[in-house]
Structures are given as C-alpha cells and as structure tokens.
Amino acid sequence: MNPEKVIFGFFIVLALTLNFGFFVGDINDPDHHHVYELFAVVVVNVIATILKFGDRTQMGAVLLATSLVAVLQLFAAALVWTFAVHISGTGLTPVVMASIVSLSGGAMLANVISVVLLVIETVMLRR
C-alpha cells in the first residue's frame, strides 16, 4: 500500500464529504450552513489541490483542473459571505445565503468529478 496515495485519496474524499455537509440543508437558511464548516471545506480543498500538483499524467491534469474549479468556487462563496456580513452590512439574507450555497454546490460537483476520476484511475491500475 502506498501511503502517498492513501493521503491523496483521503483528502479528495474528505473534500467531497465536508462540502456535502455544508451544502445539505435549506438553501436560504443560514442556520443550516455554518461558517466554520465552509472554512473547513475551503482548507481541505486547498490541501487536496496542493497534493495534486505532483502528478504529471493526463489524469493528474484533469484532477488538478477539477480541484482548481472547486477552490475557485469556494473562495467565491467565502468572499460573498465576508462581503455580506462584514463589508456591506446586509447580513445573511436568504438571497445571499442561496448564492453561497449555490457556489458550494458547484464546488461539490467538481469534487464529485474528482472522486469519480480517482475511482476510474484506481480501477485502471494494473498490478
């Protein structure tokens, strides 16, 4: 068993499961989506992206691209949250929360693609 592959797979799956946990709930209810959970999703996705930089294969390039999409959407969600709460002062209105959760949903879709590609790559490995 390759410990490097275990850590790599762990962070890819953790990114998906944390993102799913943040995404689930009423789309416009701030009580169903916690800021610390979004923070954890961003951190784990950044770690997963960093781990993908070493792979020089075509599959590695696609995995990196999906990770970059997820991180970009999660950064956008965090920026919307920060702007609404700390800069504009509008707070977490249902419209703002729906935007944040929608961006998180896009990132979750990118995470799903990453996990599917990881499974495909694992199945295609020859011993």
The pLDDT tens digits along the chain (127 residues) read 788 889 999 999 999 999 999 999 999 888 999 999 999 999 999 999 999 887 888 988 999 999 999 999 999 999 999 999 999 988 899 999 999 999 999 999 999 999 999 999 889 887 6
CA-to-CA separations, 67 to 44, 48, 95, 127, in angstroms, rounded: 11, 7, 26, 27
What pTM, to 2 d.p., does this model score? Answer: 0.91
| CB atoms inside a 10 Å sphere around CB 28 | 17
Taking Cα atoms as reference points, which of 61, 37, 38 lies closest to residue 49?
A: 61
Given a contact cutoff of 8 angstroms between Cβ atoms, the answer to whether 47 and 18 are in contact is: no
Q: What does the alpha-carbon distance between residue 49 and residue 63 come to, in Å, rounded to a whole number?
A: 9
- Which pLDDT does position 127 carry in this prediction? 61
